[in-house]
Structure 1
Amino acid sequence: MRRKILLCCLALVLAWSAASAQTAKLIVKGAKIFNMAPNQREPFIGYLVVGDDGRLTEVNAGDPPASLAAKETYDAHGNWIIPGFISAHSHIWQSAYRGLASDQTLTGWIDALYGKMAPQAKAEDFYWFTLHGSLDHLTHGVTAAYNFNYGGPSSFDFGHPPPTAQSPESYQENQFRAEMDSGLRFVHGWQVGRAGPHYATEDARRALKAFLDWAAMQPKSTAFLSVMINGGTAFNDTYQQAVLEKSLMDEFHLGNQSHYLEPPETAGEEQSKFRWFMDSGLLSKQLIFGHFIHTNDFILQQTAAAGASMSWNPLSNGRLASGTADIPKYLKMGIRVGMGVDGEASADIADPFENMRTGLYAIRDKYEDAKIMSPYDVLRLHTMGSADVLGVADRLGSLERGKFADFLVIDPERFGHVFDPYASLVFIGAQADIKRVYVGGELLVENGRTLKQEFDKVQKEVDQRVTASLK
């Protein structure tokens, strides 16, 4: 028995030694690391180690041990490293239509994009639109996003597709393939049809199950985070939409992000529908409100009590004159907040630096107080805040051991003298300062150039397809 115990102990020691001796995928050294971990506000000079599974095995101050080996070592030479930005609210395919309806608020903008432009494009066009938008997200430092996919013209016509429209499934599948091909981590937002006499719960259930079964058969990738429902309760005229969405969430264990209280002109009507969210059970920890600007105290109290969250999209809110969400008040009440760059036909660029600045300035203007929100606060909302809202904070949002190695290498040369590193990042930072973008320890963007796909060719393809769809 004693001999068996000794042999077991020896086996454990040998196994531990073998594991310790394994070569890492990547070591990054000599970096100023902003890990955004709880209780670690102060950046430090150190190193990080990425394992073969794309997760961080070490994030420490100082130099890596001489005994530590890796397939690749990158010396950051004092450059700054921050977690990849997470967009809690994106319409990635909309990058094909940037600059559209520049003098319109939300209602007119929707008519221009969803009523006139998008219905002219074919399902396969949306592969290229989504690939283009995903790559553009990556070049701007966004490494993960919630993507509101386009469900095809039928999803905006109460279940009645035009005679020439392609099936909703083909739109969903094309966009999913593009998300996978881009290298961006993503939550796939599934577009549910509008409940009504021609579209019942069983229709939606059958369509969603078919998509989930199809997605499960695709090559496995950690880039695919989850599927959620693109909620449309606020845009429907009946309570049945909320019931439909809740039934799908319960059966398939999915979250839901619903556009709600965005434009000022429909605020009263949408506020009256809040009871639909409550009575149906939609109002829960599984619900994210998109935009969520024109609220009242009752709505905020109930949202906080239910554990629901919201995505803040300052760039598009400013562009469409939608208003400014009272983020300090929401946070004080206990509502979880993430940030999104929204669609590139309403925000026009998927730039989290511009998004943080725009949001921070709007809040300071609203309160006439420069201390009401700090650069650190908005950086945290665009990283850990968004990860929390999307339910992936155990995997993303900060640079901590066990999480995925999604990070940016920032060249601070343009910042000049640094009084406050977070102020420099938020007030001065831009896409031009991003030297490298890593997802899972894999280098995907270097000096603005995408390495997995040829962005110029994708851009040309998108331009040709948009032009052809308008003829």
Structure 2
Amino acid sequence: MSLLVTGARLITVPAGTDDPGYIEDGWMLVDDGRIAAVGSGTPTTTGDETLDVDGAFVAPGFVSSHSHLFTSGLRGLGVSETLYGWCDSMLGTTAHFGPEDMYWSTLHGALDFLGNGVTTAYNFTDPQQAWEPMIAGSRAGRAPLRPLEYHTRQADACRDAGLRFVDAIAMDVTAGTDDEVFARFAAAVAHTRGLDPDLALGASIMGQVQWSPRADAAEFEVAAMRRFGVTNQAHFLESPEQIAEQRAKFALYRDAGALGPDMMFGHFIQTTPEIIEETVAGGASMSWQPASNGRLASGVALVPEMLAMGMKVGIGLDDQACTDVSDPWQNMRMGIAMQRARTKDPLSMMPELVLRLHTLGGAEILGVDDRVGSLEVGKFADFVVVDPRHPDVGPLWHPVRSYVLSMTPRNLRGVYVGGELVHDGSASTNPLGDEASARVHEALPAIAARHGHPR
């Protein structure tokens, strides 16, 4: 089946240029789930179906390069806390989850992302080893280990939601022998790679060096990267607490040989010039979470400086439990405001740049930009339809800038994955949506009542 989209204010975000690729009267042909042609004016082709968007924006689905979808039912917690206290509040609850609790929570989060225009996510799964509070810069690593299904059901939920995702898997290197650690990780990777490859775009490591008590944790992760051909994203230098301990662990990744294109650092706020220089020299990238960083009082990453030095950067929405609303437009605007307030220079973060970072830039650092992140021929037809007249924002003096600065989820009229409507602007088309909502509303309060969480 083919779909011809017409009458569009088309924003393509093409690769290889800083131009946003704006077409005032654009059209796009989708064939078998992929973009077959893009043009302006009168279409030169036809489709089995036609979608006339009548002057609405058509833009790439957002890419969240750093997400924790299982947290969707845990919003509004730990509001008076920074990172570790907030984690105690939220993950103290998931410590009591079983595999099916985790499945429905992740499905709820994945559908929420789709409903807000996010079509691809790097998803940090909740580890098989349950949460432990941080003490002196690390965790004891003695928490109970949950079954493999605790992880695999999270990947299943992303697939069942119809969200494209990179599956980030924790190695939990303190649980079991070295051989058992690798065998457990291999099983998780195999499950992800056995899912629909059009949705499960890859497997990755949830880097845990930041909180691991093992001095050789980075070596374990690098060995797994090479053995299994996976990427790695580590939460790193995020919190304004225990900065000396955090910075000292950078050398563990560097000395283990992790600093290459397959290595990403999530947050990367409490850096030094030397750490940034070594990261750029090694070819590693970073994922920036503006709304989360503000909510948790973590600080402001030096993103303009990192970009100027040649680092690749993507933007993520992070936890629904620390952005509270999965709104990519809010996330972009918060990023613009934070950087401009910090630098006192409006050119330090322009709307066109932040849009690129939340679409193609995110896809680039994840290594999936050959498939998603922009509206280009051959890529998956993942796009949003956004109407600037409902609610009306007035004349579009600079359309792309208005798209970033003035749109909200209220303007969202449709979300398409592979050319198929997955959300109509008011409700999900997924038949599991109502059940996911009911399950989360029933199960989470019951778990909290039994165990005294959350707070």
Instruction: State the TM bucket, normalised to the shorter chain.
Output: over 0.9
Task: Please show how residues 91-170 of structure 1 align to structure 2 within 5 Å.
Answer: 91-114=68-91, 116-154=92-130, 160-162=142-144, 166-167=146-147, 169-170=148-149
Deviations 1:422-460 (A, max 9, x none): 221222110011111011111111022110235343212
Q: Structure 2: how far apart are the matches of 1:215 and 1:231? A: 18
Give the partner amino acid of 2:303.
I
Q: Secondary structure at the match of 2:4?
A: strand
Q: Secondary structure at the match of 2:397?
A: coil
Q: Structure 2: how far apart are the matches of 1:166 and 1:281? A: 30
Q: Secondary structure at the match of 1:394?
A: coil
- Does the 8 Å CA contact 1:155/1:193 hold for their aligned counterparts? no
Task: Please show how residues 81-100 of structure 1 align to structure 2 within 5 Å.
Answer: 81-100=58-77
Quick check: 416-425 or 280-289, which moved more? 416-425
Q: Structure 1: how far apart are the matches of 2:279 and 2:89? A: 32
Task: Check 1:401–1:42 CA distance in 2 against 1; reply closer, same or farther (3 A cut).
Answer: closer
- Does the 8 Å CA contact 1:155/1:192 hold for their aligned counterparts? no
Q: Secondary structure at the match of 2:153?
A: helix
Quote the residue 2:35 is aligned against.
56
Check if 1:321 corresponds to 2:301: no
Q: TM-score if structure 2 supplies the norm length?
A: 0.93
Q: Structure 1: how far apart are the matches of 2:323 and 2:20? A: 30
Structure 1 residue ranges without an equivalent (≥5): 1-23
Task: Please show how residues 293-332 of structure 1 align to structure 2 within 5 Å.
Answer: 293-332=269-308
Aligned counterpart in structure 2 of residue 440 of structure 1, from 394, 412, 418: 418
**Following TM superposition, by how much is the alpha carbon of 1:160 offset from its aligned partner in structure 2, in angstroms?**
4.4
Aligned counterpart in structure 1 of residue 342 of structure 2, from 353, 356, 366: 366
Give the partner amino acid of 2:234.
S
- Does the 8 Å CA contact 1:230/1:256 hold for their aligned counterparts? yes
Give the partner amino acid of 1:335.
M
Quote the residue 1:204 is aligned against.
181
Aligned counterpart in structure 2 of residue 175 of structure 1, from 154, 167, 171: 154
**Following TM superposition, by how much is the alpha carbon of 1:153 offset from its aligned partner in structure 2, in angstroms?**
3.9
- Does the 8 Å CA contact 2:11/2:400 hold for their aligned counterparts? no
- Does the 8 Å CA contact 2:320/2:326 hold for their aligned counterparts? yes
Give the partner amino acid of 1:109.
W
Q: Secondary structure at the match of 1:404?
A: coil
- Does the 8 Å CA contact 2:20/2:400 hold for their aligned counterparts? no
Check if 1:187 corresponds to 2:166: yes
Quote the residue 2:445 is aligned against.
467
Q: Structure 2: how far apart are the matches of 1:166 and 1:51? A: 43
Quote the residue 1:422 is aligned against.
400
**Following TM superposition, by how much is the alpha carbon of 1:120 offset from its aligned partner in structure 2, in angstroms?**
1.6
- Does the 8 Å CA contact 1:158/1:199 hold for their aligned counterparts? no
Give the partner amino acid of 1:438.
Y
Identity of aligned residues (%): 38
Give the partner amino acid of 2:154.
Q
Q: Secondary structure at the match of 1:215?
A: helix
Aligned residues: 438
Q: Structure 2: how far apart are the matches of 1:212 and 1:103? A: 37
- Does the 8 Å CA contact 2:192/2:203 hold for their aligned counterparts? no
**Following TM superposition, by how much is the alpha carbon of 1:42 offset from its aligned partner in structure 2, in angstroms?**
4.8
Q: Structure 2: how far apart are the matches of 1:160 and 1:108? A: 19
- Does the 8 Å CA contact 1:188/1:227 hold for their aligned counterparts? yes
Give the partner amino acid of 2:153.
N
Check if 1:406 corresponds to 2:382: yes
Q: Secondary structure at the match of 2:48?
A: coil
Q: Secondary structure at the match of 2:242?
A: helix
Q: Structure 2: how far apart are the matches of 1:60 and 1:320? A: 43
Give the structure with the higher percent helix.
1
Q: Structure 1: how far apart are the matches of 2:176 and 2:246? A: 22
Check if 1:74 corresponds to 2:51: yes
Give the partner amino acid of 2:340.
R
Quote the residue 1:274 is aligned against.
250
Q: Structure 1: how far apart are the matches of 2:63 and 2:234? A: 18
Give the partner amino acid of 1:214.
H
Q: Structure 2: how far apart are the matches of 1:441 and 1:118? A: 35
Quick check: 202-211 or 282-291, which moved more? 202-211
- Does the 8 Å CA contact 1:182/1:453 hold for their aligned counterparts? no
Which structure's CA Rg is the greater one? 1
Quote the residue 2:136 is aligned against.
none
Give the partner amino acid of 1:28.
V
**Following TM superposition, by how much is the alpha carbon of 1:129 offset from its aligned partner in structure 2, in angstroms?**
0.3
